[in-house]
Structure 1
Amino acid sequence: MIRSDFITTGFGFQRYRVVREIGIAHGIVVRSRSIVGNFLGSLQTIFGGNISIYTELCEEARKQAFEKMMKDASGLGANAIIGFRFESTDIGQGLTEVLAYGTAVEVTPM
């Protein structure tokens, strides 16, 4: 599996050079809010501030998408990912898609 310190939003790493661009690596997760989560989230909105139940849901979805992307890149033969990004979209009532993606590459020390 690719180490998290070999994933960057930039397009290179100090002291390493990209020797091969392999292709797009991605991880996707679709999450839904439970009835209990919606109820607790609604209660938290009454008082304002951070809606922790939704924050935790988003953090977990991002983590899962990130891990799936790393696994995808490893399966493609990469040892690093450049140009890493997250995107999320509501795709239905209470359904959110979280996508992690980047360019799977092979890097070697300079």
Structure 2
Amino acid sequence: MPTPVSRHMVSTTNDVPGYRLVRPLGIVRGITVRSRSIVGNVGAALQTLVGGNITLYTELCEKARVEAFELMLDHAAALGANAVIGMRYDANEVAQGVTEVLAYGTAVQVEPGG
């Protein structure tokens, strides 16, 4: 089983502070597709009447991002990476009420010193 990539070794920049890039390993991604349930839609509709944060949708979005992020880390570890740089999220509606969340970046091997 590959060594997992630590969450603190993921950067939205093109480096990991305090580390030197040894080898790029390629693009990695994690994709999840989520739909809203009927119950969730009704609950969210009620929350919109009051205004403010629609917590049911916030929780759904956060779960999707976490799942996509973890899948990206698994993909990076499978390539032998110990870090991911240039990490980003993207989301697209693939059908009404169905959203794809993508976490992606470049898997790299780094070593201390930078």
- TM-score category, normalised to shorter length: over 0.9
CA distance in 2, matches of 1:87, 1:15: 28
The answer to whether residue 33 in structure 2 is matched with residue 30 in structure 1 is yes
Structure-2 separation of matches of 1:73 and 1:49: 37
RMSD value, Cα: 0.6
The equivalent position to 1:42 in structure 2, one of 9, 20, 45, is 45
Among 76, 84, 89, the alignment partner of 1:86 is: 89
How far apart, in 2, do the equivalents of 1:18 and 1:49 lie?
Answer: 44
| 4+ residue segments displaced more than 3 Å | none
Aligned partner of 2:28: which letter?
A
Q: SS of the residue aligned with 2:11?
A: coil
Query: 5+ unaligned residues in a row in structure 2: which ranges?
Result: none
Q: TM-score, normalised by structure 2?
A: 0.94
Which structure 1 segments of 5+ residues have no match? Answer: none
How many residue pairs get aligned? The number is: 110
Q: What is the identity percentage for the equivalent residue pairs of Structure 1 and Structure 2? A: 55
TM normalised by structure 1 equals 0.98
* Selected match of 2:61 from 58, 62, 84: 58
Distance 2:18 2:58 in 1: 36
CA deviations on 1:52-82 (whole Å, 9 max, x unpaired) are 0000000000000000000000001100000
